[in-house]
Amino acid sequence: MLSRAPKSRAGSAPHFAHQLAAAVTTGPAAAVKPLPILAKRTFFSSALRANDDNPTPKFVKRPEPAPSFNTEDTSSAESKQPATLMDDSMIGMSGGQIFHEMMLRHNVDTIFGYSGGAILPVFDGIFNSRHFKFILPRHEQGAGHMAEGYARATGKPGVVVVTSGPGATNVVTPMQDALSDGVPMVVFTGQVPTTAIGTDAFQEADVVGITRSCSKWNVMVKTIEEMPRRINEAFEIATTGRPGPVLVDLPKNVTAGILRKAIPTESTIPSRILAGLSTTTVTDDLVSRPIERAAELLAVAEKPILYVGHGAMGDPRSAEAVRALAKKAQIPVTTTLHGLGAFDEEDPLSLRMVGMHGSFYANRAIQNADLIIAVGARFDERVTGKISEFAPAARLAALEGRGGIIHFEITAKNINKVVETTEAVEGDIAQTLPLFVEKVHAVKSRPEWLGQINEWRDKQPFRYEADDEAAAIRPQTVIKTLSEVVAPIKDKVILTTGVGQHQMWAAQFYKFTHPRTMITSGGLGTMGFGLPAAIGAKVGRPDCQVIDIDGDASFNMTLSEMGTATQFNIPVKVVVFNNGEQGMVTQWQSMFFDDRFAHTHQYNPCFMTLAKSMGWKGIRVEKLSDLRAGLEELVQSTEPTILDVVVDSKVPVLPLVPGGKGLDECIVYDEQVEKERRELRRERLARLAEIERREYEG
């Protein structure tokens, strides 16, 4: 019997090509010998090339991944695939060591995870590995959000390893968050031994069942022989088409077991599978005619607009094509929350963000455009408002053959799901949009259309109550000042946010100029996302400044991850808006519930004391005159740092499109209206206080 000590797994090793060539045979392994460690990440197999023993090598296509509830095929593979190449390089490895090997083959450089009994064989297999970093959070939810931040910053899938039961259920929220926002994430969960499944064993949970609705795909590995194949499938599916989370459930007897026989080579080598090829291959037949028709529509349109979403962030070519199209055809550009940075917001063609809290002029432009070109966006209700009132001019233009809605989208189910499109181009935007740019005729200017937009911009820019040295700091001013402070280095600054008013103010008052510089929870709106996401982003992009813009309520949910940043020397920065309330909810309570602030105020710790106890640097700003200096000190710091800014409370985020209303019905900032609202609030609160006093005395 052969085994591998963890110590040897971390040692030096020959090139993978030499190892694989020596290990792969066309039949059963004749003699089992201890094999050197597979440490290199780039590898080729000489057994897959033509030679005397193998004159016509062929790849056998792997079938599409089976659903997680399918049983393992136990029929004879030899009768179906008599010439299958067999790999005996993993014979003698434990499941945990095979896991380590597969991580190397997928170029994994970072793992976020938390240990536990059911996953210990995997932790033992990666013990002291010098090939990747392991980041230990304070909670499994933190691991999931760190993996999201890492993936959003780098474009590579985030990898999470947790134990069974509560360890697995604690990553459900990050998985749903990743599914909502299209973030590639591969989650490995420990599980009780297969012999104990169904017995209500300690820390047993039906993880596959629980995560079926919050993952692109999930599976339980039932034998050690299928483990490499399932890992390959997981990485492929997570990164194919619209990215998303996948989960591989690993019973303890599988990861603790020893592989004793050769397995098909194709199952051990990362490669494209049919499911992936079908969604990434763009053919002329699929896109040529739709692109031609789309170009014809743009040629006759007079008021076009580009509406850009998160899909433009997946590949650098996508954002480049967006910029090229906007410049070539002089098309104004608006983005979703996740599309921020796909187009330079300093450019005159930028309309900033669209939707519920988007710019007044972007919303007006969408409603008046005769052609909307949607790129990697899914027409979320926070963007469209009331569907029946969305884009009336474009819908009319579609009926008259002079415009409409064009949708560039990689996921077929998102086309015509919310809004009926005039023309749809299905496929990877990085491939389809450049083809469209080639077909588009150059336009020197659109004076009437751009002139109208500039009138709207001048009439209603993003506005808020003027600063007052004697008053509390306006939260919007914090964001504007930060944007100015980091202006010279914006290509190397990544913002993350929690969820709430601070998130929308960051989108409104920080000007994004580069892709992948805004990382936030959009679709699910997960409070507590900001700090762990910042840690993951900083691990993935250590060359960048990573700053978490957070509200105090949101920050309180995951502030324990400050310890993670300290332990692993991850110098993230946090700006906390300290006003003692759940601002977004209190805004709705003020505007739509007659100032009845039901359970939306919380006690905060002293963030300066917290910083000291966590090994962070702490800075506190209470006066407007100290704000810029505080932000500059934050940016210049080389250690984990928190800036505690005491900001004004009961400040509304405006513009606001109320739920159930069209984009034309947005509420904008009006100084007189806000004064009247504050006075009405004081009267209401006084009445409520009097009622409470009488009830207490009576």
- Active-site amino acid positions: 140, 202-203, 252, 584
Question: How many whole angstroms separate alpha carbon 455 and alpha carbon 15?
Answer: 64
Residues 547/588, Cβ–Cβ less than 8 Å:
no
Residues 132/160, Cβ–Cβ less than 8 Å:
no
C-alpha triplet 682, 683, 689: angle, nearest 5°: 85
Beta-carbon count within 10 A of 605 CB: 12
Judged by DSSP in three states, 686 sits in helix
How would you write 608-671 as a 3-class SS string? HHHHHHHCCEEEEECCHHHHHHHHHHHHHCCCCEEEEEEECCCCCCCCECCCCCCHHHCECCCH
Q: Is 107 left (phi over 0), alpha (psi -120 to 50) or beta?
A: left
Question: How many whole angstroms separate alpha carbon 642 and alpha carbon 537?
Answer: 17
Q: Which two tokens stand for residue 211?
A: 């995560």
Beta-carbon count within 10 A of 466 CB: 9
Identify the H or E element spanning 152: helix 140-154
Enumerate residues 6+ apart whose C-beta is below 8 A from 593. none
Question: How many whole angstroms separate alpha carbon 166 and alpha carbon 673?
Answer: 49
Q: Is 376 left (phi over 0), alpha (psi -120 to 50) or beta?
A: left
Question: How many whole angstroms separate alpha carbon 535 and alpha carbon 157?
Answer: 15
